[in-house]
Amino acid sequence: MITVYGLKTCDTCRKALAWLKGEKIAHRFVDVRADGITKADVTRFAKAVGWEKLLNKASTTWRELDEGVKADLNEALAIALMVEHPTLIKRPVFDMGAKIVSGFRDAEKAALKAASK
């Protein structure tokens, strides 16, 4: 079963969940704002897809961060920020066990279909 990490208010997450349901791909949803997320999970995601890709620099939360924090950014700080502010995680993140995928474009859809077989 695929675990989807995201926000229930995120349009892309809602589209992804609807697509998974339409494709009859078994999944469960974790709302990272309501349910929280562990440092171990964020670290695992960052190792799998790269912390730069996982960090959502287009988010309102990112824009509201102190400029000094953004200037000194490295992997450890980025992971800590994503744990503290889960809205900084680019969504959705799909945990397929052996593979982690972030985002919801054609390449991610193909990976999800392959993992569900």
Q: What are phi and psi of 82, to 5 degrees?
A: -70, -30
Contact 97, 5 (CB under 8 A): no
HEC profile for the chain?
CEEEEECCCCHHHHHHHHHHHHCCCCEEEEECCCCCCCHHHHHHHHHHHCHHHHECCCCHHHHHCCHHHHHCCCHHHHHHHHHHCHHHECCCEEECCCCEEECCCHHHHHHHHHHCC
Count structural domains, the chain: 1
Catalytic residues, which ones? 10
At residue 3, the pLDDT reads 97
78: domain range?
A: 2-115
At residue 117, the pLDDT reads 79
At residue 116, the pLDDT reads 84
As given in the structure block, the two tokens for residue 115 are: 């993992």
Query: Which mean pLDDT values do the consecutive 10-residue runs of the chain (117 residues) have?
Result: 96 97 96 96 97 95 92 95 96 95 95 88
- The CATH number of residue 58's host domain is 3.40.30.10
